[in-house]
Chain A
């Protein structure tokens, strides 16, 4: 079962981080980065199959591909931003983490503007 592997890897990494934190905090930070990257790489196949199922359903429901694509991009941006922000917070640079989150918010807002415009136009068409 993969969850046991993942919990095992994370626990071992946490122990090593605690071991090295006082002496070599830079190495401890990099261990936590690597552990997070390994866990995500392990989950990659499952995420890919879930996304394929979503895409098939969207195709069958005749939803324009661009909507699902935008949602996918936003989820991806949110994930990467959270990964980076948590690592920065772990290492004590919570101001950097706030900047990363701010940048992610701006990018997501920019990505969702076309969809907002489409919804507004639809509303204006409906209203007399």
Chain B
């Protein structure tokens, strides 16, 4: 069901948050930034998938081709 995506994204967000803090504390600031960026890109992929599905449905339903 679609609701799993929500939890996956929240899970990824929390993991990225923790990883980023740990890397920050360990002194590797650039790696922390890079993991943040990677996490955001991964989440963006999932969001774009769902949004394109949503907009396809809206287009077909409201005859907006």
| A9 on interface, CB distance cutoff 8 Å | yes
Question: Of the 9-residue stretches A70-78, A89-97, A113-121, which lies at the interface with chain B?
Answer: A70-78
Chain B interface secondary structure, helix, strand, loop or mixed? helix
Given A38-B2, A73-B64, A31 and B54 touching (CB < 8 A)? no
A7 sits at the interface (CB 8 A) = no
- Chain B interface (Cβ within 8 Å of chain A)? 2-3, 5-6, 9-10, 12-14, 16-17, 36, 39-40, 43-44, 46-47, 50-51, 53-55, 57-59, 61-64
Binding site for B on A (CB under 8 A): 9, 12-13, 16, 19-20, 23-24, 26-28, 30-31, 33-35, 37-38, 40-42, 44, 47-48, 51, 69, 72-73, 75-77, 79-80
